[in-house]
Amino acid sequence: MKSFALALLLAACGPRAPAPAPTPGEPFGRVEGTLDGHEFLKSDSARARAAGAEESEVIAVGAGSAGDRISSLFALPESDCGLVIARGNDSVEDVDLFVYGDDGTVFGSDEAPDKTPSLLVCPPHPRRLFAVARLAAGHGVVAIGVQRVSAARAEAVGRSLLPSGGRDAAEAAVATFPRLNDQVSSHHRTLGGSWREVRRAGIPLDPRVASRLSVAIAKDRCISVLVLPASDVSHLDVTLLEANGRIAGRGRARGRERFLVACAPERTDVTVEVRPRAGQGTGVVVVSESRDGHAALAGDEAFMVDLTAPASPDDWARELDRRLDAAGYGGSAVVSQGTLPLGTRTSVALALGAGCSRVDVVGGRPLHGVLAQAWTDDGQLLASARGVSQATLFVCGAPRPSLELEALQAPGPHRVIVRPDPDAPAVFSQHPLAAHRLLGFAMARGVGQRGTHFGGARALRVTSSQRVSIPITVPIARCVDVSASVGGGGRGLTLRLLEEPGGKELERSHGAHVVALRACALDRGRTLLARAELFLDAGESDALLATRQLTPQP
């Protein structure tokens, strides 16, 4: 046996046949080029082409294991949409896909637990974008492809790669959405102010691709966006994008629904982006427009996205001087300036004259979000306001209040400017919080800038158990603006205007703390006799009611 094994060993060590000579001209070693990514993309790219997309272009291809990334910059015309997909071979188990702008703005992400992520990026977006595919599970080769899509074909292309049924199914779901009208009415009532519904649309909801809706905000108006999901989707992310793709704000949660309020001093085009974190199905977006003007809201629920263009404190000061000098204010005084830090409050001691004073807090880049509150020595709130880079308080009846300031999102420079309004009605000094709310609401609606514009203001006591009635007379060819506000202790204020005699309801307004409506006698040929009714949803409070006669423009 040992002899046989030795013979085998000797045979193995014997001479071998020479290796074949390489074929002349046959390539060997490193070669230029890359993997053919079209092989991984071709099936879904063909489906997108059939729906209206252009030819696919591979922008990146690479290999890796869980945690590795493949990325590339790509160009996309500003007026077109772009379909971005990432696909891999069989050993790849899960891929996530992201698209960013140069400044880091997120234009889409698909993190669903699958290996076929797809994103449809539509205007507004910059010309240059950055796509990143991340291997979440498995290993292998992944390619990223981009296809140009016209805006007219975007929905069809999106439907070709989404299992949720697309926008057609979503629009059909609007008609059968449960209690939709009740939910919209309740939302408007909670926000306060006066709203007019301008759009109601169904949208497909899928975690992999955001649904987008373009909305125009009219000059000196606000929009309310309410998003209601069907029962098979949940945990919505709602984002408001400006025309350059910058995130201007995010929706607030109220149960399963999401909402946001945005205001602009000039016509502004924005985009609402909606994406669920769980489930696939449909939803409804309801867009309403304020009747009362820019920032004419006062409810705590209506934390607004203010699209006022950022400016320096000097720019703000010059603009205020121009507007307020024309409104009859006297001289102004800068009582404080400096940098507002983030996350802490800065206290400023004020020394004000008799009557009321207008206090403007103005900021500049990079300050973003400012909260201003005025308090008495014994802890009573006199006024509160917030904005992106400017907030206005009307402080009445407190000669030495404490002003507290806070930067809400980013620190930056600020200036505090005081303008006296000594001839404001004495009743404003007796009810300072209600006066601040009433004057701020009137300023936002463009019916008054100073306390002296409301010489007929009166104090009332309003409750939830008894209505207060006030007679209103509207002369021929005139209008009368009626506004009311409450101080502390009450919430949910309703103002009704009823014709006399008979009690026919002419107008109604509801808000958290302040309301307003307008009565006109333009086509009646006679004076309008009416009465205003005022009451609260809960609690009781001192209130102010003011009227101002207006001459309509022809």
> Following DSSP, what letter does each residue of 391-408 receive, concatenated?
EEEEEES-SS-EEEEEEE
Question: Domain 458-550 is in which class?
Answer: mainly beta
Query: Which pair of structure tokens corresponds to residue 61?
Result: 């291809």
d(CA 150, CA 129): 17
How far is it, in rounded angstroms, from Cα 70 to Cα 367?
36
- Classified as helix, coil or strand, 266 is coil
| 554 residues of the chain, pLDDT tens digit each | 445 454 544 455 555 555 566 666 677 878 877 788 888 999 999 999 999 999 999 999 999 998 899 999 999 998 899 999 999 999 998 898 988 888 777 787 777 778 888 888 888 788 999 999 999 888 999 999 999 999 888 878 877 775 554 455 555 666 667 788 888 888 887 777 778 888 888 888 888 778 888 888 888 788 999 999 988 888 888 988 887 777 777 888 888 899 988 888 788 888 898 988 888 888 899 999 887 665 445 444 445 676 766 578 888 888 888 888 877 787 889 999 999 998 899 999 999 988 999 999 998 888 888 899 999 999 999 999 887 788 899 999 999 999 999 998 889 999 999 999 988 999 999 999 999 999 988 887 777 778 888 877 899 999 999 899 999 999 988 888 899 999 988 888 999 999 988 889 988 888 888 888 888 888 777 899 999 999 999 889 999 999 888 776 54
Cα distance between residue 332 and residue 449, in whole Å:
15
**3-class secondary structure, 450:** coil
Can you name the residues that pair with 517 across neighbouring β-strands? 482
Q: Are 474 and 530 in contact (CB under 8 A)?
A: yes
Angle at 195 between CA 309 and CA 513, to 5 degrees: 85
| The two structure tokens encoding residue 413 | 């420079």
According to CATH, the topology of domain 313-422 is Jelly Rolls (2.60.120)
Top CATH class of 38-161 equals mainly beta
The pLDDT, as a whole number, for residue 298 is 44
According to DSSP, the residues that pair with 514 across neighbouring strands are: 485
- The continuous run of DSSP H or E covering 337 comes out as strand 333-340
* Domain at 169-306: CATH architecture: Sandwich (2.60)
CB distance 248 to 240 below 8 Å: yes
Whether the domain at 313-422 and the domain at 458-550 fall into the same CATH topology: yes
Query: In the chain, what are the domain boundaries?
Result: 38-161, 169-306, 313-422, 458-550
What does the pLDDT read at residue 135? 92
User: Which residues are CB-neighbours of 184 under 8 A, at least 6 positions away?
Assistant: 197, 226, 286, 288
- The residue type found at 74 is F
